[in-house]
Amino acid sequence: MFYEQITEWQQKLPESTWASFSGADVERVLARESLRPQDLAVLLSPAALSYLEPMAKKAQALTIRHFGRTIGLFTPLYLANFCSNSCLYCSFHTGNKIVRCKLSIAQVIKEGEAISSTGLQHLLLLTGESRTHSGPAYMEECVHALRPMFASLGLEVYPLATEEYRRLFEAGIDSVTLFQETYNEVTYAQVHPAGPKRDYHYRLEAPERACASGISSVNIGALLGLSDWRQDAFYSALHADYLQKTYPGVEVAISVPRLRPYAGSFQPSADPVTDAILVQIILAYRLFLPRAGITLSTRESPQMRENLLSLGITRLSAGSLTSVGGYSETDNVGSAQFEIADERSVPDVVAMIRAQGYLPSFCDWVNMRAKDAVGL
Amino acid sequence: MNAIIQSVNPSDDSLLLGGVNLRSRLFVGTGKFSSHEIVPLVLEASGSQVVTMALRRVDWKNPQENILNYLPPNTILLPNTSGARTAEEAVRIAHLAQAAGCGNWVKIEIVQDQRYLLPDNWETLKATEQLANEGFVVLPYMSPDLGAARRLQDAGAAAIMPLGSPIGSNRGLQTKELIRILIEEISLPIIVDAGIGRPSEAAEAMEMGAAAVLVNTAIATAGDPVFMAQAFHLAVVAGRLGYLAGPGERRITAEASSPLTGFLQEG
């Protein structure tokens, strides 16, 4: 289990280690062809901040070699925002007085049609954590309704049991996205004071359960800025490496979400993730995990997304709305999970990608299992 | 021009594959380019007649994004089963490709290892057997292994496509000795696929006796993909001519052009 690696590395990498790395260490790591976890630590250390340019050159070359000049596009679809958790940083927090709702299957189809008309074919389905309002059976119904419209369906919901993942995989889910939020157990307990999400271990092991269920792709990550970003970036990448090695048939991707303004008053005490640090994290991820997808959401501003595009990013969300029922503008619009910073339309994001010398990819998957998958 | 060169006139040197006589021995891929618009220019410069594309990346819903709309009409499509992890999935992709009008050629690509993208020869054999029985022209991408290649041959493969090194790695012919054995022992065309990073490596594969090479990443990610496509075209032609001409034996020491015992032949 990955938790054993966390405890092992906590011993090997005490807080004082980060400052002990020098520029010479960074140069040695940059000369290596494949990196070990100790090399990843060097790239996340303060010393590496002076080496962002050579790191960027290497990261760009690696990304182009493995992924080409192609950026995959997807968009999220929020199915429901009922939630029994109390995450201090999230607008869906059970105590927050927001408009709660859940899409009917007819509304799900309407939302799917509105998204599909933009040309997007990779869809990520999201819900709050509520087994009453948005349980696996409801998700399965939504998957059946949406499957014929999209090339790929992903799921970003609360952690499920292996058997539940397996059922959703059989129904037509291709990928599972699940962020640990923070790998620091103390912070994790502080920011998740109530609700099922309090269980750190059940969440930590969820990507592995998804892999074991047969799913083709998993996307993990930490909510950067919630706790010490160095630790969270280190363990996120180590987690991705662990999943790649344990489940070689599964495509593993990693996201780089930064904490965004939301409806609530919690402010983290950890150091903020500045633009330079976000760049450092993305570059370290790419150099340590040359074949992992790196996903960037509309949490980042248009300018930042343009600048980050050529540094190792392989997937971008586009035309995103984080409110329930927002795409088809039904009268059933629930409150949004967080503010998005890039509100551009799909054609505008496509034009931006082309202007950067990259090919926007709407379709990079064929579902081969679900009975109602896309026919050609 | 001497008699040997005249006897290997390249215009007579076509590759018979799937019932088609191919003039070009360079197959190219369509992935990783920065735009679809550059693909027809690359194809023209490469002289390629066979073009592979991942069915998973063909965007049927958006004509402007559909790579098939950028290929010249006489191109032979070689859809590949990228994304398949089992024989069953590869067979399903091949059926989808055929149903979509991509013809009956298929490159089997079954990968259960996402770190190195190395092919699974066992699943590849199963898919080859089924699709060849159904009448597909099957080109299996495989790890160079003589036993597996013999089984693929028996299963009805049209050619064998061993990797030179992992896909997209540009590491060249790391498996050279194993490919050499396949060229010697297997009667089917051996098409070196994956890993060729430079024109000189394509020439080397052709000089060894490979029937053709498939190149994608090295062209798509070059500074100027069109120039690089032309360079590969020339390298493949040069390597093939070198093979046909029969290169001289390699020696460690110098050999006098006028043999010392030449006088024995005189008079």
How confident is the model over B35-66, as pLDDT tens digits?
899 999 999 999 999 999 998 888 888 888 88
How much is the ipTM here? Answer: 0.80
For residue B129, the model assigns a pLDDT of 97
Residues of A in contact with B56 (CB under 8 A): 151, 363-366
In this complex, is the C-beta atom of A242 within 8 Å of any C-beta atom belonging to chain B?
no
Residue B9, pLDDT > 70, answer no
Residues of B in contact with A73 (CB under 8 A): none
Residues of B in contact with A365 (CB under 8 A): 56, 83
| Chain A (209-238) residues lying within 8 Å, Cβ to Cβ, of chain B | 216
Number of CB pairs, chain A paired with chain B, less than 8 A apart:
93
Residue B187, pLDDT > 60, answer yes
For chain B, the C-alpha Rg in angstroms (whole number) is 20
Closest Cα in chain B to A248: B113
Distance CA A321, CA A107 (A): 15
Which of these ranges, A209-218, A276-285, B124-133, B251-260, has the smallest mean pLDDT?
B251-260
Residues of A in contact with B217 (CB under 8 A): 65, 68
Q: Which residues pair with A80 in a beta bridge?
A: A102, A127
Contact A179, A257 (CB under 8 A): yes
Closest Cα in chain B to A245: B115
Active-site option among B32, B61, B107, B126: B107
Closest Cα in chain A to B91: A368
More confident residue, A269 or B212: B212
Distance CA A184, CA A214 (A): 28
How confident is the model over A283-316, as pLDDT tens digits?
999 999 999 999 998 888 889 989 999 999 999 9
Closest Cα in chain A to B31: A68
Contact B221 A68 (CB under 8 A): yes
| Chain A (157-186) residues lying within 8 Å, Cβ to Cβ, of chain B | none
Name the pLDDT band for B159 (thresholds 50, 70, 90): very high
Summarize the confidence of residues A366-371 as an average pLDDT: 72
Chain B residues at the A interface, defined by Cβ less than 8 Å, are 31-36, 55-62, 65, 83-85, 88-89, 92-93, 96, 99-100, 111-115, 117, 168-170, 217, 220-221
More confident residue, B211 or A323: B211
Say how far residue A44 (Cα) sits from the centre of its chain. 19
Distance CA A277, CA B45 (A): 43
Residues of A in contact with B111 (CB under 8 A): 249
For residue A329, the model assigns a pLDDT of 67
Give the dihedral sign, CA A212/A41/A294/A143: positive
In this complex, is the C-beta atom of A371 within 8 Å of any C-beta atom belonging to chain B?
no
- Which class for A109: exposed (0-12), middle (13-18), buried (19 or more C-beta within 10 A)? middle
Name the pLDDT band for A215 (thresholds 50, 70, 90): very high
Residue B267, pLDDT > 70, answer no
Is position B107 annotated as part of the catalytic site? Answer: yes
For residue B1, the model assigns a pLDDT of 44
Distance CA A234, CA A222 (A): 10
Contact B57 A364 (CB under 8 A): yes
Residue A331, pLDDT > 60, answer no
How confident is the model over B66-109, as pLDDT tens digits?
888 888 888 999 999 998 999 999 999 999 899 888 899 999 99
Which of these ranges, A35-44, A293-302, B9-18, has the smallest mean pLDDT?
B9-18
Question: The domain A2-11+39-361 belongs to what CATH superfamily?
Answer: Aldolase class I (3.20.20.70)
Contact A121 B61 (CB under 8 A): yes
How confident is the model over A57-79, as pLDDT tens digits?
999 999 999 999 999 999 999 99
Residue A135, pLDDT > 80, answer yes
For residue B252, the model assigns a pLDDT of 65
Instruction: Find, among B213, B162, B201, the residue nearest to B184 by Cα.
Output: B162
Q: Encode burial over B210-231: b for 16+ CB neighbours within 10 A, e otherwise.
A: bbbbbbbbbbbbbeebbebbbb
For residue A25, the model assigns a pLDDT of 96
Closest Cα in chain A to B169: A65
Contact B221 A216 (CB under 8 A): no
Average pLDDT, chain A: 90
What are the strands, taking DSSP E only, across chain B? 15-17, 20-22, 26-29, 50-54, 76-80, 105-108, 137-142, 161-162, 191-193, 212-215
In this complex, is the C-beta atom of A57 within 8 Å of any C-beta atom belonging to chain B?
no
Quickly tell me which residue has 């006028």 as its tokens.
B258
Contact B59 A358 (CB under 8 A): no
> What does the domain layout of chain A look like in residue ranges?
2-11+39-361
In this complex, is the C-beta atom of A244 within 8 Å of any C-beta atom belonging to chain B?
yes
In this complex, is the C-beta atom of A365 within 8 Å of any C-beta atom belonging to chain B?
yes
Residue A240, pLDDT > 60, answer yes
Average pLDDT, chain B: 89
Residue A356, pLDDT > 60, answer yes
For residue A371, the model assigns a pLDDT of 62
SS3 state of residue A253: strand
How confident is the model over A261-274, as pLDDT tens digits?
555 666 777 788 89
User: Judging by DSSP bridges, how do beta strands B20-22 and A175-177 pair with one another?
Assistant: unpaired
Contact A244 B115 (CB under 8 A): yes
* % pLDDT > 70, chain A: 93
Contact B220 A121 (CB under 8 A): no
Residues of A in contact with B99 (CB under 8 A): 376
Give the dihedral sign, CA A250/A282/A57/B42: positive
For residue A322, the model assigns a pLDDT of 76
Summarize the confidence of residues A104-133 as an average pLDDT: 92
Residues of A in contact with B89 (CB under 8 A): 368
Helix-helix angle B38-46:B225-245, to 10 degrees: 20
DSSP letter for A18, please.
G
Correct CATH for B23-244 of 3.40.50.1100, 3.20.20.70, 3.40.50.300, 1.10.287.990 = 3.20.20.70
Contact A68 B59 (CB under 8 A): no
Select from B84, B96, B115 the Cβ nearest to the Cβ of A376: B96
Residue B195, pLDDT > 70, answer yes
Contact A69 B221 (CB under 8 A): yes
Residues of B in contact with A216 (CB under 8 A): 83, 85
Closest Cα in chain A to B64: A119
User: How big is chain A, counted in residues?
Assistant: 376
Please give the torsion angle defined by the CA atoms of residues B140, B144, B146 and B150, in that order, rounded to the nearest 10 degrees.
Answer: 0
